Amino acid sequence: MQALTIIVFQNDPRLSQALAATLSHHFHSVHVANSLDELWIAIPRHRADVAILDIEASCLEEVAKLHRQFPAVSILCTHRVADEEMWTAALNAGASDMCPAFDTEGILMSAERNATLSQATA
């Protein structure tokens, strides 16, 4: 189990809970935010290493603000519909990676990889 803290915010609460349950087997601490406001509070409260954010429940400006406010936090965006332009825009806004919302294995691998990279550069 990696000593990383993860915050999950998905538009669908069931998906948030399912993703958090899966990730909790691999990471030290996993928390669910039920809104963007909760996400903003949870990141510093839990000293998050990774924020998993549903890009369709927020906007690119929100990703950019999170990246500016918490530069050491790896922001992993999820989406339901593959859209190369959205993926590129999210990365340009400060996201570390983009994964389909139901690709739990991809989210897990990306969270591990990007958190490790963020810690190494911090």
Instruction: Please name each of the domains of the chain with its CATH number.
Output: 2-121 (3.40.50.2300)
Neighbours of 58 (CB within 10 A): 17
> Which DSSP string corresponds to 64-76?
HHHHHH-TTSEEE
Which one, of 23, 20, 2, 22, lies nearest residue 10 by Cα?
A: 20
* Rounded Cα gap, residues 26 and 2, in angstroms: 6
pLDDT score of 49: 93
Say what angle helices 13-23 and 104-121 make with each other, to 10 degrees.
60
* Rounded Cα gap, residues 52 and 10, in angstroms: 8
* Rounded Cα gap, residues 73 and 85, in angstroms: 23
56 or 29: which carries more pLDDT confidence? 29
Q: Per-residue pLDDT for 117 more than 70? A: no
What are the tens digits of pLDDT across the range 30-72? 999 999 999 999 999 999 999 999 998 888 999 999 999 999 9
Q: Per-residue pLDDT for 121 more than 60? A: no
Contact by Cβ (8 Å): 29, 8:
no
